[in-house]
Amino acid sequence: MVDVITAPKIKGATGEIADLHGIDYAHLSVVAIKAIQEQQELIQKLQKQNEELVQSYAQLMKDVELLKKK
């Protein structure tokens, strides 16, 4: 999980305190890399599925052409 770091910050001459938010980029990198890896696996799976469907379609079109000739 990505940690959001909150630290108090003194603001202005009146000494008002406001929250300052930051991100722990070290953890964010780990999460981003894992997400990219999962996305790449999905892309590869979909590419393989698409290739299979293209081959099936080509075979079906050949079968249709054969049936038309009869």
The total of structural domains in the chain comes to 1
- The closest of 26, 17, 21 to 7, measured between CA atoms, is 21
Q: How confident is the model at residue 5 (pLDDT cuts 50, 70, 90)?
A: low
Question: DSSP code of 7?
Answer: E
Decide if 8 contacts 17 (C-beta within 8 A): yes
Say how far residue 44 (Cα) sits from the centre of its chain.
13
Expressed as residue numbers, the domain containing 15 is 4-69
Each residue of 19-63: pLDDT tens digit?
Answer: 566 777 788 888 899 999 999 999 999 999 999 999 999 999 999
Q: How confident is the model at residue 18 (pLDDT cuts 50, 70, 90)?
A: low
DSSP 16-57: EEEEEEEE-HHHHHHHHHHHHHHHHHHHHHHHHHHHHHHHHH
